[in-house]
Each structure stands twice: as C-alpha cells, then as structure tokens.
Amino acid sequence: MKALVLTLLFLLIAANEAKVYSKCELASHLKQGGMDGYYGFSLNDWVCMAFHESSFDTRAVGRPNRNYSRDYGIFQINSRWWCNNYQGHTANGCNKPCSAFTNDDITDDIVCAKRIVRDPQRMNAWVGWKNKCKGRNLSEWTRGCNL
C-alpha cells in the first residue's frame, strides 16, 4: 500500500513537472500572457518559435553550447544571458534560476521571452524562429484554435 501511494505520488509529481503543450493550448496561454502582437510579433510567431526550439516541451534542456551555456524550457532560454544555472557566468537578464524555465508553469517563461524580444535583435534571438519561421506564412500555427 505504501509503495502504491508512493508510486501514485511520484506519477503525480512527474505529471505535474512534465508538460508538453499542444499547439492550441500554448497559443491560448500566450494570448492570455499578452504575446499576441507583442513588439509586432503574432501568436503564430511565438507558437512556431516554441515548436522549433523545444517541440512544446516545458522540460527541454539543450545540450551545452560551445561556450558551456545551456538553453532551458519551452522557449529555450539561454543561461549565459537570461537565467542562472549556477554553472558559470551569467548576465541573468530575467533574474531567475534556469530551473524556473523547466517546470509546467510558463507564466515566468513568458515574462522572460518578452524581455528577450525587447532587445534589438528581437526574435532573431531564437535561431529556431530565424531559420524556420521568419518571413514565412505561419497561419497553420494557430489554425483551428479557439482563441
């Protein structure tokens, strides 16, 4: 019985921490977070970016970059500039531990993504967006969503 309870508890915790968004669910959260049109970027841009950066997986952690920084979470936020992973120098522009960007609550991830896009390079900060979304017809990324 105790083992069963522990197993259930573990599954609950695991389920709580590992969230892979669906396209429309993410679009809806981003809209609530004020991302639609933020600095001129549409929901489609944000959804397309998140897909190509993390496949919508809130737990995604990138392999170490050449300079030993890493990218965290659904928006693959970089530890050199935006969050602290306690493994080297960081500017910590979003003033967060990187672990804040690998849980299933993306509220703070959204706040940080907004901070990132306010920098001059805008969404070019995300290579996935630059290579796979920029300048393309992105209407499929919110098609069929009830927004």
Ligand X SMILES: *[C@@H]1O[C@H](CO)[C@@H](O)[C@H](O)[C@H]1NC(C)=O
Q: Which residues of 14-40 are buried (b: 16+ CB within 10 A; e: fewer)?
A: eeeeebebebbebbbbbbebebbebee
Q: Which of 27, 57, 20 is nearest to 139 (CA)?
A: 27
Exactly one of 7, 22, 32, 65 binds ligand X (CB under 6 A); that residue is 65
* Chain residues 71-110 in contact with ligand X, contact rule CB under 6 A: 78, 80-81
Compute the CA torsion angle 116, 37, 29, 120 (nearest 10 deg).
0
Quick one: what does residue 137 bind among Ca ion, ligand X, none, with the CB cut-off 5 to 8 Å set by partner type?
A: ligand X
- Catalytic residue at 140? no
Catalytic residue among 45, 53, 104, 108: 53
Q: Does 139 bind ligand X (CB under 6 A)?
A: yes
Contacts to Ca ion from residues 82-111, by CB under 5 A = 100, 103, 105, 108-109
Q: Which of 71, 104, 109, 140 is catalytic?
A: 71
**Residues marked as catalytic:** 53, 71
Chain residues in the site for ligand X (CB under 6 A): 65, 67, 69, 78, 80-81, 137, 139
